[in-house]
């Protein structure tokens, strides 16, 4: 049976379900499964599952448990190829076979060496009809962090920039200016909640003293690790970051041999350190992203400032750009944004545009 419009609709629903646990499944990707069966001429969802918080159980056994006997003869919609390896649970591909599913529609292929194609092979060898690649692009966008970590062995980078109407990101004298409104702020906090790490340079910390937490009602607990690029270890003990390190983790990427006293005091405040390589006095970014990936962290949201954004762009380490453009100009002596909607680097393509109050949010990804 070929892929039908109905298949695409169920897959779209599965992709939406997978978003429920995005950013909450540890090093495992958040994927979803729907079990759909013909009942009296209608296609009915009889089981649904999304990778559990923390990463296990996987989506498939949960959906199959809900479907029970109704899984026999059903179609399973999976946003990622079902796993083929024996982890703490038997392979999901085998679970689908054993439950008597007769057709599997899948979106993205799993690049995990233990799976990659083997999940599909287990299904086909058991006589199950497999359609792969359905809405693969959408699924791959959501799974971007996981796929980049597995394929490129580094964390996936989203660069977030808030730019004034005249293409500025702030005042040169450091005075605080508000570029975007309340609605955008909520949106940014939601994106924070889905990220594993928020990254800023020490300049931003010294200038703005930011919190970098998610402050949306009921999502406070989903604030990710806050990581500061600080080769010279200048993070003040009195900064909001250091002062809240016990509630929400703060990591400092710094050169190995730094002021032992400052380090000891920050450690006592709950700050953690990543001993990092430096190039010309700056933290080496590719190595840092590899280090994060090796720790099971997939997604990094780069939030400032201009110099840090510029470094990630110059080293071709940006996978996604979120550009917020406010309605007003910043006058006087101001800092030009590394990019605006007019000057997005050629390696990127626009994937979405939204309006939040008076602000516009443009989203780009690698072409």
Residue ranges in contact with ligand AOF by CB under 6 A: 28-29, 31, 51, 55-56, 58-60, 80, 82-83, 87-88, 92, 110, 112, 115
The least CB distance from residue 95 to ligand AOF, in Å, is: 9
Residue among 64 and 337 whose Cβ is closer to Zn ion: 64
Contacting residues for 203 by C-beta, under 8 A, at least 6 apart: 305, 307, 308
For 56, the token pair is 């296990």
The least CB distance from residue 64 to Zn ion, in Å, is: 11
Contacting residues for 212 by C-beta, under 8 A, at least 6 apart: 192, 198, 200, 223, 226, 241, 303
The least CB distance from residue 146 to ligand AOF, in Å, is: 7
The least CB distance from residue 29 to ligand AOF, in Å, is: 5
The least CB distance from residue 129 to Zn ion, in Å, is: 20
Site mask, Zn ion, residues 54-83, x = CB under 5 A?
----x------------------------x
Q: Is 228 in the site for Zn ion (CB under 5 A)?
A: no
User: What 8-state DSSP symbol labels residue 328?
Assistant: S
The least CB distance from residue 87 to ligand AOF, in Å, is: 2
Cα 130 to Cα 52, 102, 250, 341, 359: the distances in Å are: 25, 9, 45, 41, 44
Catalytic residue among 60, 81, 94, 131: 60
Per-residue three-class SS string for 160-199: EEEECCCCEEEECCCCCCCCCCHHHHHHHHHHHHCCCEEE
User: Choosing among ligand AOF, Zn ion, none, which partner's interface includes residue 131 (Cβ < 5 to 8 Å by kind)?
Assistant: none
User: Choosing among Zn ion, ligand AOF, none, which partner's interface includes residue 59 (Cβ < 5 to 8 Å by kind)?
Assistant: ligand AOF
Among 92, 115, 169, 250, interactor with Zn ion by CB under 5 A: 92
Residue among 58 and 118 whose Cβ is closer to Zn ion: 58
Active site residue 94: no
Q: Is 160 in the site for Zn ion (CB under 5 A)?
A: no
Residue among 80 and 101 whose Cβ is closer to ligand AOF: 80
Residue among 93 and 361 whose Cβ is closer to Zn ion: 93
Residue among 112 and 211 whose Cβ is closer to ligand AOF: 112
User: Choosing among Zn ion, ligand AOF, none, which partner's interface includes residue 179 (Cβ < 5 to 8 Å by kind)?
Assistant: none
Alpha helices in the chain (DSSP H): 5-18, 59-67, 92-98, 118-125, 136-142, 144-152, 182-193, 202-208, 240-243, 260-268, 285-294, 306-314
Residue among 56 and 189 whose Cβ is closer to Zn ion: 56
Contacting residues for 94 by C-beta, under 8 A, at least 6 apart: 122
Please tell me the distance from the alpha carbon of residue 328 to that of residue 271, in angstroms, as a whole number.
37
CB-count exposure of residue 281 (10 Å: 0-12, 13-18, 19+) = exposed
The least CB distance from residue 51 to Zn ion, in Å, is: 9
In this structure, the dihedral spanned by the alpha carbons of residues 66, 68, 71 and 72, taken in order and rounded to 10 degrees, is 180
CB-count exposure of residue 331 (10 Å: 0-12, 13-18, 19+) = exposed
CA angle, corner 345, sides to 172 and 183, nearest 5?
Answer: 60
Number of shown-chain residues binding Zn ion (CB under 5 A): 3
Contacting residues for 8 by C-beta, under 8 A, at least 6 apart: 134, 135
Residue 294, beta-bridge partner list? none
Residue among 58 and 185 whose Cβ is closer to ligand AOF: 58
User: What is the contact surface with Zn ion in residues (CB under 5 A)?
Assistant: 58, 83, 92
Active-site amino acid positions? 60
């Amino acid at each position: 049976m070929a892929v039908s419009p109905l298949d695409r609709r169920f897959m779209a629903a599965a992709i939406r379900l997978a978003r429920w646990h995005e950013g909450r499944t540890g090093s495992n990707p958040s994927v979803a499964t729907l079990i759909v069966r013909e009942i009296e001429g209608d296609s009915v969802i009889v089981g649904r599952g999304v990778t559990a918080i923390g990463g296990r159980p996987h989506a498939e056994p949960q959906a199959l448990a809900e479907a029970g006997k109704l899984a026999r003869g059903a179609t399973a919609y999976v946003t990622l190829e079902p796993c083929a390896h024996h982890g703490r649970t038997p392979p999901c591909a085998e679970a689908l076979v054993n439950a008597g599913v007769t057709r599997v529609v899948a979106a993205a292929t799993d690049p995990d060496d233990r799976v990659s194609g083997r999940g599909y092979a287990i299904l086909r060898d058991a006589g199950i009809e497999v359609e792969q690649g359905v809405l693969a692009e959408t699924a791959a966008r959501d799974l971007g962090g996981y796929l980049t970590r597995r394929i490129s062995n580094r964390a996936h980078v989203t660069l977030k920039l808030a730019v004034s109407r005249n293409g500025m990101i702030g005042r040169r004298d450091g005075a605080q200016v508000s570029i975007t409104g309340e609605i955008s702020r909520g949106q940014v906090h939601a994106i924070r909640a889905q990220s594993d790490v928020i990254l800023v340079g020490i300049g931003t910390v010294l200038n703005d003293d930011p919190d970098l937490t998610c402050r949306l009602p009921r999502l406070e607990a989903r604030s990710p690790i806050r990581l500061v690029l600080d080769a010279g270890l200048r993070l003040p003990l009195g900064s909001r970051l250091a002062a809240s390190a016990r509630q929400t983790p703060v990591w400092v990427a710094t050169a190995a041999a730094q002021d032992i006293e400052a380090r000891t005091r920050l450690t006592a405040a709950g700050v953690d350190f990543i001993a990092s390589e430096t190039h010309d006095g700056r933290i080496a970014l590719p190595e840092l992203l590899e280090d994060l990936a090796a720790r099971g962290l997939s997604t990094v949201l780069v939030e400032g400032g201009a110099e840090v954004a510029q470094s990630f762009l110059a080293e071709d380490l940006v996978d996604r750009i979120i550009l917020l453009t406010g309605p007003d100009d910043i006058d006087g002596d101001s800092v030009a944004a590394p990019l605006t909607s007019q000057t997005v680097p050629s390696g990127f393509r626009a994937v979405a545009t939204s309006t939040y109050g008076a602000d516009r949010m443009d989203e780009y990804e690698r072409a």
